[in-house]
Structure 1
Amino acid sequence: MDTLENVQLKLETMNAQADRAYLRLSRKFGQLRLHHLERRNLLIQNIPGFWGQAFQNHPQLSSFLNNQDKEVLSYLNSLEVEELGLARLGYKIKFYFGRNPYFQNKVLIKEYGCGPSGQVVSRSTPIQWLPGHDLQSLSQGSPENSRSFFGWFSNHSSIESDKIVEIINEELWPNPLQYYLMSEGARVEKGKEGKPVPARPPGETSEPADNKSN
């Protein structure tokens, strides 16, 4: 009869084998996935304003944007989400901007990971605002403007900041096309039911059932 110690040793050996197999699969599919992500990025770059429109169309992300944020995001050429470590210990979100009248940065980065004691920590690129265009200061000084989305880059502690990261990582990044194509009516449906509805192709209209010919 196996002793408890022998059974435990067999379990540990099996767990080690499973871990090695997981790492091999992660590397394999990571490389395959990377190829498609690079191809997707190239195609998106040929669609002007793609990422800015996807942000505006997302039912939750849009609530973090004021009018000036939407203008700045129209200069967003590319977005990348990089997983840190095979065990997904964190994320690095990269925003690539074209030349714009708001800041000098070509790339803004927000990074989330685990600190030494296991707590979640974040760091980000300081935004080099051009004179008179600091959206954080402008939004604080005007009651007509809501808080700027770009305050997220310097926000490292609030639940709101964590929510933005979660939305980008789990919804926008995996399939940005569905949000780029989303119509205003579909955004309302998404907000109510949690399921995105793609925009209807141009020229296609729905007819009431009573008006259809038999």
Structure 2
Amino acid sequence: MNPLEAIQQELDTVNAQADRAFQQLEQKFGRMRHHYLERRNYIIQHIPGFWVTAFRNHPQLSPMIRGQDAEMLRYITNLEVKELRHPKTGCKFKFFFRRNPYFRNKLIVKEYEVRASGRVVSFSTPIIWRRGHEPQSFIRRNQDVVCNFFTWFSDHSLPESDKIAEIIKEDLWPNPLQYYLLREGVRRARRRPLREPVEIPRPFGFQSG
């Protein structure tokens, strides 16, 4: 074995140890985060209109939430964003709704999965619309045509570059309170300043391999 091969083997061993340590650390903090997320969800469920307000106040999500979309979002009781077995393999968005006049679903799920080949695919719960309430697929806004929010659930055309999923996972979900508070123009000192959604090289931090 030449010196280069020996060094590479040692490096591979260190990398494997680092991966195991990272996974253990990730699991530890994941359990800690779960505790606080459960408490946050409980409080939010008792604040009427929390999620629809947060969505409508978000500068990048609000353009596609108009008319009937806004009315339907008023029935959201909870939102959960969960990573799959490992953050690099995908994530799942779970929208919980109370009974409403627009559709029959109490839960709508959209899931993204990274296959072994590196290809990103998405799946979603079919929405069971009540008669006469199927939304238009697009909203005409000035001279632009914008995809409406509920169309996003059934759109699986380009899951690897889904900006809506990226914005929800990377910006809205970590701190929805900052957008909810914009409703009344509240300005409070925060530990972290408001931040714009960050451009990331792969969707939702997914990495293949």
With structure 1 as the length reference, what TM-score do the two structures score? 0.78
Match of 1:46? 46
Q: For the Cα contact (< 8 Å) 2:80–2:95, is it kept in 1?
A: yes
Deviation at 1:88, TM superposition (A): 2.9
Deviation at 1:85, TM superposition (A): 2.1
Deviation at 1:137, TM superposition (A): 6.4
Q: 1:52 to 1:160 in 2, by over 3 A?
A: farther
Q: 1:92 to 1:181 in 2, by over 3 A?
A: same
Name whichever structure is richer in helix by fraction.
Answer: 1
Q: Partners of 1:114 and 1:175 in 2: how far apart?
A: 25
Match of 1:199? none
Deviation at 1:67, TM superposition (A): 1.2
Deviation at 1:69, TM superposition (A): 0.5
Match of 1:130? 130
More deviation, 122-131/85-94: 85-94
What SS is found at the alignment partner of 1:122? strand
Q: For the Cα contact (< 8 Å) 1:155–1:161, is it kept in 2?
A: no
Q: Partners of 1:81 and 1:170 in 2: how far apart?
A: 10
Q: Partners of 2:118 and 2:67 in 1: how far apart?
A: 38
1:30-109 equivalences in 2 (<5 Å): 30-109=30-109
Root-mean-square deviation (CA, aligned residues, Å) is: 2.5
Match of 1:14? 14
Overall identity of the aligned pairs, in %: 57
Q: For the Cα contact (< 8 Å) 2:137–2:151, is it kept in 1?
A: no
Q: For the Cα contact (< 8 Å) 1:75–1:100, is it kept in 2?
A: yes
Q: For the Cα contact (< 8 Å) 2:81–2:169, is it kept in 1?
A: yes
What SS is found at the alignment partner of 2:59? coil
Q: 1:100 to 1:146 in 2, by over 3 A?
A: farther
Deviation at 1:148, TM superposition (A): 2.9
Q: For the Cα contact (< 8 Å) 2:75–2:99, is it kept in 1?
A: yes
Q: For the Cα contact (< 8 Å) 2:64–2:139, is it kept in 1?
A: no
Deviation at 1:117, TM superposition (A): 2.5
Match of 2:178? 178
Match of 1:206? none
What SS is found at the alignment partner of 2:126? coil
Q: Partners of 2:185 and 2:158 in 1: how far apart?
A: 31
Deviation at 1:184, TM superposition (A): 8.0
Q: For the Cα contact (< 8 Å) 2:103–2:129, is it kept in 1?
A: yes
Deviation at 1:138, TM superposition (A): 9.4
Match of 1:205? none
Amino acid paired to 2:110: K
With structure 2 as the length reference, what TM-score do the two structures score? 0.80
1:77-136 C-alpha deviation (Å, 9 max, x unpaired): 000001012243111000000000000000000111113422111010000000111113
Amino acid paired to 2:42: L
What SS is found at the alignment partner of 1:128? coil
What SS is found at the alignment partner of 2:95? strand
Deviation at 1:139, TM superposition (A): 6.5
More RCO (CA 8 Å, sep 6+): 2
* Structure 2: segments with no counterpart, 5+ residues: 187-193, 197-209
What SS is found at the alignment partner of 1:81? strand
Amino acid paired to 1:118: G
Amino acid paired to 2:86: L
Q: For the Cα contact (< 8 Å) 1:52–1:76, is it kept in 2?
A: yes
Amino acid paired to 2:74: S
Match of 1:150? 150
**Greater gyration radius:** 1
Match of 1:4? 4
What SS is found at the alignment partner of 2:88? coil
